[in-house]
Amino acid sequence: MADPLSRRGFMKTTTTAGAALGAGLAATPLTASAKTNFKYQNGLSPWPLSMNTSTIRPASLRDKIKVTAEAGWDAIEPWINDLNEFEEGGGDLKALGREIKDRGLFVPNIIGLWNCLPATQEAWDASLEATRKRMRQSADVGSRFVAAIPSPDRADFDLKWGADRYRELLRIGREDYNITVAFEFIGFFKGVHRFGQACAVAVDANDDDACIIADTFHFWRGKTGFHGLKKVNGDIIANFHWNDIAENTPEEGTGDTSRIYPGDGILPLEQILRDLKSINYTRTLSLELFNREHWKMDPKVVSETGLRKMQECIARAEL
């Protein structure tokens, strides 16, 4: 299946996007990236930048789309509960997908297929009805990928079993819904919590479309480290969640709420960007935060601030 990101630039041409970009330029000298004439963000980024909707809760999905487009992002990454609430309220997800495109955005991925990888064949068969619904919803809104979460979580998660079931999820997604299922590792899980484990599942699935969802927080929380990124081809990564962690944050017991804006913490984000460029990663960087204080703020402010932080991070990498 061809990757639409290789065919379309999704460049922003609206006045609003230009104004948001100008605000970012005023805050930080981004000329190093601008000189390279990259494909996204008016030449500032080699990757499309996406707003993950966890960052701007509890706004409605339509409001999330509105503030994301107006701030100047390239894409929006909803959660499956966003799609459920919209559809249960009488909304048409296919029409919403067209609305997202009309606003100059695209949907790179949906989070996700929860409880889609139980431990037994009987439980897996029983999970398929909910999994298929989530695949259909994700495809209806126009997403390229949907994330398979390795849950129910368990310490004895069998990677071979996971690879076999993931291969079947890939087949169902491709044949029945024209969507690619991407495998996500979760740094605080007892089971699949490391980059290498996720890569093993994807490789052993033995499918050309096999890929993973990466996340700077989960690399840190799962104690993977970041040097292994240079050992893979960028095509194995379907989408990369982007965030930072504050200095002196304990690894044990730390959850998603500890994520902060990129550049405000200690993660080696600029080096990671250079490594992603060196392995020819071309897909999305998606800002995924769960900051409860941000959720109390105007989502427009959070969206604009997040985009500026992403732009500044890329500029500092001097790609």
Residues 227/278, Cβ–Cβ less than 8 Å: no
Q: Where are the domains of the chain?
A: 4-317
What radius of gyration do the chain's Cα atoms show? 18
What is the side-by-side strand order in the sheet with 75-77? Answer: 75-77, 49-52, 284-287, 237-242, 212-215, 180-184, 145-148, 109-113
Closest CA to 77 of 285, 257, 273, 250: 285
Strands, E assignment, the chain = 49-52, 75-77, 109-113, 145-148, 180-184, 212-215, 237-242, 244-245, 259-260, 284-287
What residues are paired with 155 via a beta bridge? none
6-27 residue pLDDT tens? 333 333 333 333 434 344 433 4
pLDDT score at 36 = 65
Angular region, 90: left φ>0, alpha ψ -120 to 50, beta rest? left
Instruction: Say what the pTM is.
Output: 0.88
Angle at 114 between CA 110 and CA 117, to 5 degrees: 120
30: confidence class by pLDDT, cuts 50, 70, 90: low
The SS3 of residue 294 is helix
pLDDT score at 101 = 97
* Domain 4-317, CATH number (from 3.40.605.10, 3.20.20.150, 3.40.50.150, 2.60.40.10): 3.20.20.150
pLDDT at 266 over 60: yes
pLDDT score at 37 = 81
Residues 207/148, Cβ–Cβ less than 8 Å: no
pLDDT at 271 over 50: yes
Q: Rounded to whole angstroms, how far apart are CA atoms 16 and 67?
A: 11
What residues are paired with 98 via a beta bridge? none
pLDDT at 31 over 70: no
Region 125-130: mean pLDDT is 98
Tokens of 273: 């960007």
pLDDT at 258 over 60: yes
pLDDT score at 130 = 98
pLDDT at 246 over 70: yes
pLDDT score at 35 = 53
63-96 residue pLDDT tens? 999 999 999 999 999 999 999 999 999 999 999 9
41-52 residue pLDDT tens? 999 999 999 999
pLDDT at 191 over 70: yes
Mean pLDDT score across all residues of the chain? 90
pLDDT score at 254 = 81
pLDDT score at 252 = 78
Residues 6+ apart with CB under 8 A from 230: 275, 278, 279
CB atoms inside a 10 Å sphere around CB 253:
8
pLDDT score at 221 = 94
Tokens of 150: 């390795």
pLDDT score at 6 = 39
pLDDT score at 13 = 36
DSSP letter, residue 44: T
- Give the distance between the most distant pair of CA atoms in the chain: 58
Q: Higher confidence at residue 252 or residue 100?
A: 100
